[in-house]
Homo-oligomer: A and B are copies of this chain.
Amino acid sequence: MKSVEELTDLFRLRGLKVTPQRQCIFRALHAMEGAHPSAEAVHAAVLGELPMVSLKTVYQTLNDLVAMGELRHLGLGSGPARFDVNIDTHQHLACEGCGRTWDVYADLSALHVPDSAMDFAVSATDVVFRGRCASCAPDPDEDLQKEPVGAPASARI
């Protein structure tokens, strides 16, 4: 995630205005480096500083950031959309037990698409490893919703 100053400049370059609300959202996202917040989570963080910012404004700014490529929009399954503050090329571990998500850096160099897709121009490859984290031990009861206790090595959601 770029600094608040860089984002400010990028917004101005695009003809978008830089308001206190937006800068507050920038700061909130910066504090969430490595996390995968929902729009609601960002909104909650922003409210701590500017209590009058509407959820709509947060959605709008997040969408602007996604359009600028400064934020990744994640579709990790059901529920609210999640945003990824880390725009480096990376993949995700998604725990089906607690719903948390971690960044991982896997080697995709050996991953190639069959020739049958030759006329398809691939611009991005999304990889999600689904399973259960250490705190959500593999459990035959899929419906069990247990509270997580600990977290894997790099634990930011």
Contact = CB atoms under 8 A, between A and B. Distances in A.
B145 A120 contact: no
A116 B148 CA distance: 19
Nearest to A136: B121
A124 interface: yes
B75 A150 contact: no
**How many copies of the chain does the oligomer comprise?**
2
A114 B108 CA distance: 11
A44 interface: no
Interface string A121-135: 111111111111110
Interface residues on A, range: 35 or more
A93 B75 contact: no
Given A111-B110, A150-B124, A151-B122, A117 B130 contact: no
A123 B117 contact: no
A125 B111 CA distance: 13
A49 B86 CA distance: 48
A6 interface: no
A20 interface: no
Interface of A: 67-70, 73, 75-78, 81, 87, 89, 91, 93, 95-96, 102, 104-134, 138, 143, 145-157
